[in-house]
C-alpha cells in the first residue's frame, strides 16, 4: 500500500487476528512482533516481510508468515548464546535504572507515542533492571600512538541513532566521521555502497582517513532502498536475504544487530 496509516491499521488488525488464532498454529502476537522488529534494524529484510504481510492480509495465507517467523523471529541455541552476550554487554556497559517502577513509567510514556516495539524491546532489555553486578564506567581510550579511528554513521539509523555517532566522534580525539546521508541501517560498510567502501578500503590499506576540518569529514549518498520481490515465493526469505549485500553481517551479529 501507499498510505502509511492504512498499512499500519492492517498490521495491527493482523496482530489482533493472530493473537486470537496463531498463524499456522505458530505465529501469535509475540512471534509476529519478533518477526517484524528486525525490519527496523536492516532494510534488506523489508521485501520478505512485506510479502509475508501481504500474503496474510490480502490472500489469507499463513505459510509465508510462518516462514518469515522461522527466518527472522525464531531463536535457537545459537541465538540464545548471542542474546547472553548482548545482555552482558548492555547491562554492564550502560547505566540502566534498577527500579522496575521507573521502567514501567518510562515505557508506558513511550508507548503512548510509538507503541510498535516498546514492550517487546523492554522485555528484551529487562535483565538489566535486575543485573547482579554494578554497571562499569567508560574506559579511557585516549592513545596518541594509535592510528585515528574511522567512524561510519547513517543519518536515519533508528537502532543506533546519528546523535550517538556524532557524540563518539566528538569524544574520540582525532577520529574521522563518514556519514551516509539518508541511510537507515548500521554496519553500513561492505553492503554495496561504493562511496563508503572507498573510505574503508583506504583506511585498511594504509590508515588514511578523510579530513574536512568540520564536524563531518565525508558524506556519501545512501544505498538505494531494496526493491519489492519480483515473484512471490520464488525464494525463501532466508536464502534470498543471504544473497543481498549487508545481510551476511546482520545475520552474523543477530537480527537486532
Tens digits of residue pLDDT in 39-96: 999 999 999 999 999 999 999 999 999 999 999 999 888 888 989 999 999 999 999 9
Is residue 242 pLDDT above 50, yes or no?
A: no
Q: Find the domain containing 43 and state its range.
A: 4-74
Do 194 and 170 share a structural domain? yes
Number of domains in the chain: 3
Q: Does residue 256 belong to any structural domain of this protein? A: no
- 8 & 24 share domain: yes
Shared domain check, 64 and 39:
yes
Same domain, 25 and 69: yes
- Give the three cell numbers for residue 253: 551479529
Q: Which three cell numbers stand for residue 231?
A: 515473484
- Do residues 43 and 101 both lie within one domain? no
Domain for residue 230, yes or no? no
Give Cα separations from 242 to 23, 71, 236, 239 (angstroms): 25, 11, 10, 5
Per-residue pLDDT tens over the stretch 201-241: 999 999 999 999 999 999 999 999 999 997 655 546 454 54
pLDDT of residue 144: 77
Pairing type for strands 150-154 and 218-221 reads unpaired
**Are 188 and 200 in contact, with CB atoms under 8 Å apart?**
no
Amino acid at each position: 500500500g501507499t498510505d502509511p496509516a492504512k498499512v499500519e491499521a492492517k498490521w495491527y488488525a493482523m496482530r489482533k487476528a493472530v493473537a486470537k488464532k496463531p498463524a499456522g498454529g505458530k505465529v501469535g502476537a509475540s512471534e509476529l512482533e519478533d518477526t517484524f522488529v528486525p525490519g527496523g534494524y536492516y532494510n534488506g529484510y523489508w521485501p520478505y516481510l512485506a510479502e509475508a504481510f501481504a500474503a496474510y492480509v490480502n490472500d489469507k495465507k499463513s505459510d509465508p508468515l510462518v516462514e518469515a517467523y522461522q527466518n527472522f523471529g525464531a531463536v535457537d541455541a545459537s541465538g540464545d548464546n548471542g542474546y547472553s552476550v548482548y545482555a552482558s554487554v548492555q547491562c554492564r556497559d550502560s547505566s540502566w535504572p534498577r527500579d522496575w517502577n521507573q521502567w514501567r513509567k518510562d515505557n508506558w510514556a513511550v508507548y503512548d507515542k510509538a507503541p510498535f516495539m516498546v514492550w517487546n524491546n523492554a522485555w528484551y532489555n529487562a535483565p538489566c533492571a535486575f543485573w547482579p553486578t554494578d554497571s562499569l564506567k567508560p574506559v579511557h581510550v585516549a592513545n596518541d600512538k594509535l592510528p585515528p579511528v574511522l567512524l561510519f554513521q547513517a543519518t536515519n539509523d533508528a537502532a543506533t541513532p546519528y546523535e550517538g555517532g556524532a557524540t563518539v566522534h566528538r569524544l574520540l580525539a582525532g577520529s574521522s566521521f563518514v556519514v551516509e546521508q539518508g541511510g537507515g541501517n548500521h554496519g553500513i560498510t561492505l553492503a554495496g555502497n561504493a562511496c563508503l567502501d572507498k573510505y574503508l578500503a583506504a583506511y585498511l590499506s594504509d590508515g588514511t582517513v578523510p579530513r574536512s576540518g568540520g564536524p563531518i569529514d565525508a558524506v556519501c549518498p545512501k544505498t538505494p532502498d531494496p526493491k519489492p520481490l519480483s515473484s512471490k515465493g520464488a525464494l525463501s526469505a532466508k536464502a534470498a536475504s543471504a544473497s543481498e549485500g549487508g545481510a551476511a553481517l546482520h545475520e552474523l551479529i543477530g537480527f537486532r544487530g
